[in-house]
Structure 1
């Protein structure tokens, strides 16, 4: 795994969590909506006695557990990434990596914060990736 691939894991996990949270919102909406009554005649040998929203509530519960596990993983990953970034000796390079991979800033935002143009920021980024030393036991997503 390259340093760039390793550092991008937090960004991807953050987006996955946001996607799961959006899905959770849709499930919550579905669980509180009223379903239309069935007016047609049904012939059923075994009858489901659960309310229609129970399945939705079960999905909500399992998705909430998944999101909590992913958040814990993200916190641990960002902590590990911070320690890897802190090992870079050049301050500008270290700050570019921190803003890019911890705070998910764009190149333009990093340039504004550091007072440099985007080409300089990208150059610092390329140099910083060359100075990153990955630990032996990496967290992989």
Structure 2
């Protein structure tokens, strides 16, 4: 695994967690809303005996467990990434990596923090990636379900 791919895992996992939280909020809204009856013809091969809100609540519970597991993975991954970044000897390179991969700053935000222009930040970033040593057995975040895409 290349350094950039390894460091970028936390960002992708964080985005996946945020997406799951948004989905859970939509399910919460649906679980408390009143659905109107359908007066049209309905053909149903199986009859659901649970109320619709019960199914939403079950899905919310499943998502909450998944989110908690992903947050635990994110915390462990960020701790490992911080350790890897702290081994980079150049302070500017280390700060660029920290702002980019731990705090998810944009290039412009990093430039503002370090009082450097975008090209300098990108140069430091490129040099820093060459100095990152990916652990032999890194924490690698896999998709929890094969049908999830991110």
TM above 0.5, yes or no, is yes
The TM-score, its normalising length taken from structure 1, stands at 0.92
Deviations along 1:33-75, whole A, 9 cap, x unmatched? 101135578899x865422211110000000100010011000
The TM-score, its normalising length taken from structure 2, stands at 0.87
Aligned to 1:24: 24
Q: How well do the aligned residues superpose, as a CA RMSD in angstroms?
A: 2.0
Q: 1:108 to 1:48 in 2, by over 3 A?
A: closer
Q: For 2:121 and 2:42, locate their aligned partners in 1 and report how far apart those are by CA, in whole Å.
A: 67
Aligned to 1:83: 83
Aligned to 1:69: 69
What are the ranges of 5 or more consecutive residues in structure 2 without an aligned counterpart?
142-150
3-state DSSP of counterpart to 1:92: helix
Alignment of 1:31-42 (within 5 A): 31-38=31-38
Q: 1:43 to 1:23 in 2, by over 3 A?
A: closer
Q: 1:137 to 1:49 in 2, by over 3 A?
A: same
3-state DSSP of counterpart to 2:37: coil
Q: 1:40 to 1:99 in 2, by over 3 A?
A: closer
Question: Based on CA coordinates, which of the two structures has the bigger radius of gyration?
Answer: 1
3-state DSSP of counterpart to 1:53: helix
3-state DSSP of counterpart to 2:52: coil
Aligned to 1:117: 117
Count of aligned pairs between the two proteins: 141
Q: 1:86 to 1:43 in 2, by over 3 A?
A: closer
2:96 is the counterpart of 1:60? no
